[in-house]
Structure 1
Amino acid sequence: MEPRGHGFRGGYSQGQSKPKAKNNSVPDRWLDYSNFGRQIHGTPIVALKVPLRAVITESVEIANKVPEDKRFGPTDVLEQIQNLGMVLDLTATQRYYDPQFFMSQGIRYFKLVCEGRVIPGADTVRAFFAQMDGFRNDPGMRGCVIGVHCTHGVNRTGYLICRYMIQRLGLSAQEAIQKFEAARGHKIERPLYVDHLSELGCTSVQPSPRYDGGSSFRGGAKVPCPKPARSSMLGPLSTAKVGFNFKFLYY
């Protein structure tokens, strides 16, 4: 079944099973990666690894695995990534953190379930593009950045961001990969992702206008990021069809 995007306000989208009891273990190799990278030049995108709720990083049983200076949770995301307007979560689990934390702070949140170690299907790619296009074209998000993460913020994240830069922004595969890796500080590790991106070099779609929102953190002029009223972010769950059959739920 194709991966789905959805929000989390009670219940589960069609075809989604009730999650199992939460596992409090730290993801494998999570400590090997930096928390987040620089904003990718010419885009509003910041790639990061998944932030972990305190019960995972501060558990007595595993405290020796996560030194205090290596912990990275949702609060750190807000404190360290300035002008954050949205979080796009690609992980295939709900155990890492409660998205309500971001939404309570007026940050948009979208969950797009994306399995690792496989090339995402067409519906997943369309949903990712729709979210990125919507964010970039929203006047209310001008000057804001969108944080995209999988588990490590490198492979699934890198593939989809690079594919967006190739097929929406008109970059070559080589340029897109170089930009992503330079900003993230880590190389895309899985050959199947790099090989597939390279095959897209001559198959692009209509480019979107270049992002001109300016640099919003880590150097450059800081542009204020207007946040929607909290009441609007916490209102009834919305639904939208993204050009195909699956229904995507988001806040």
Structure 2
Amino acid sequence: MPEAPTFAVPGAPIFAVQRTIPKHNKVPHGWNSLSEAGTVVGDSKFIPIKCPLSPGKFRYPNNFCLMEFVKHHQQQGRKIGLIIDITNTDRYYDRSDVPFAVAHKKIFVVGHEKAPGNECKQFNDIVEKFKETNPDEYIVVHCTHGLNRTGFMIINYLIEHEEQTVDDAFNAFNTSRSPHGMYNPLFIDELYEKHNQTNSILYRNMTYPEVPGYAMAKIKKLVYKNKLLSKREDSEKYSELVERYKV
């Protein structure tokens, strides 16, 4: 298997505005342990990535240059036309870090303890409007780690606008963003419940995807707080789930 490309750069990109790098800009917890980007999600035009970190704000190798990323995909025959940022902050990079020809949209979405709600319609509307005039161009989506919020938004869109089942959309995203994909049990439950597909065999026997080490403590608290395993008491996987989350 060829080595995955890296989009970290030693200095500010050529076309970016040079900035003074803050001494204490903090890289998001767990960011370094994840791959920079997933593959295209199934037959869609979505490409999930973790949050870019401006080379003008974060020192090499702890940065992720959008200009290099877009150029890489262009060389592979994929024109990126839109980037949707769904982090709940604007501190990671500036509009000047985005190639001029690429549209950029921002939706502030709180992560972890609450699945996206009204933000889904905003996301869907942005995507639909873009696709009307740019049907062949690709759409990059990112939250902080490019896993849970990103996965929820993309999967929900594929269900509501491309008539996919939750199973199919979930598997497509998690294949793209393996080995973890969207792993938050609260988000996964919400998607199956929202779309009335909790009778899915995949869902009924699900043990949920592997949780990255940096996130396990928070996920265990989330599972306990929301009593999520009570929905799994009749599952053959119940004892396995209890052991995994130790609740």
Aligned to 1:107: 102
> Does residue 90 of structure 1 match 2:97?
no
- Give deviations 1:87-127, integer Å, cap 9, x for gaps: 0000111110012332x5211000001010212222x1110
Residue 22 of structure 1 and its aligned partner are, at CA, apart by 10
Distance 2:151 2:96 in 1: 25
The residue identity in structure 1 corresponding to 2:41 is: I
Distance in 2 separating the partners of 1:189 and 1:22: 33
Residue 215 of structure 1 aligns with which residue? Answer: none
1:182 is matched by which residue type in structure 2? T
Aligned pairs (5 A) from 1:18-37? 24-37=25-38
Matched residue, 1:38: 39
Q: Which structure is richer in relative contact order (CA contacts within 8 A, separation 6 or more)?
A: 1
The structure in which a higher percent of residues are strand is 1
Q: TM-score, normalised by structure 1?
A: 0.63
Aligned length: 170
Higher helix share: 2
List, as ranges, runs of 4+ consecutive aligned residues in structure 1 with deviation greater than 4 Å: none
- Does the aligned pair in 1 maintain the 2:65–2:97 contact within 8 Å? no
Deviation for aligned residue 1:188: 1.0
2:182 partner amino acid: I
Q: TM-score, normalised on structure 2? A: 0.64
Report sequence identity in percent. 29
State yes or no: 1:78 paired with 2:79: no
Please state whether the residue corresponding to 1:136 is helix, strand or coil: helix
Counterparts in 2 of 1:24 and 1:34: CA distance versus 1, 3 Å: same
Output the CA distance in 2 between the equivalents of 1:125 and 1:110: 14
For the aligned residue pairs, the C-alpha RMSD in angstroms reads: 2.1
Following the alignment from structure 1 to structure 2, what is the Cα–Cα distance between the partners of residues 157 and 72? 17
Are residue 52 (structure 1) and residue 53 (structure 2) matched? yes
Within a 5 Å distance, the mapping from 1:168-183 to structure 2 comes to 168-183=161-176
1:194 is aligned to 2:188: yes
Larger radius of gyration: 2
Distance 1:28 1:127 in 2: 27
Stretches of structure 2 that go unaligned for 5 or more consecutive residues are 1-21, 198-247
* Structure-2 separation of matches of 1:35 and 1:50: 8
| Aligned residue runs from structure 1 range 153-168, under 5 A | 153-168=146-161
Superposed displacement of residue 23, structure 1? 6.2
CA shift, 1:30, in A, is: 0.4
Distance 1:200 1:77, change over 3 A: same
* Alpha-carbon distance change, 23 to 168 in structure 1, aligned in 2, over 3 angstroms: farther
CA distance in 2, matches of 1:150, 1:29: 13
In structure 2, C-alpha distance between the alignment counterparts of 1:51 and 1:199, rounded to whole Å: 32
Q: Greater shift after overlay, 34-43 or 71-80?
A: 71-80
Unmatched segments (≥5 aa) in structure 1: 1-20, 59-65, 204-251
AA partner of residue 110 (structure 1): K
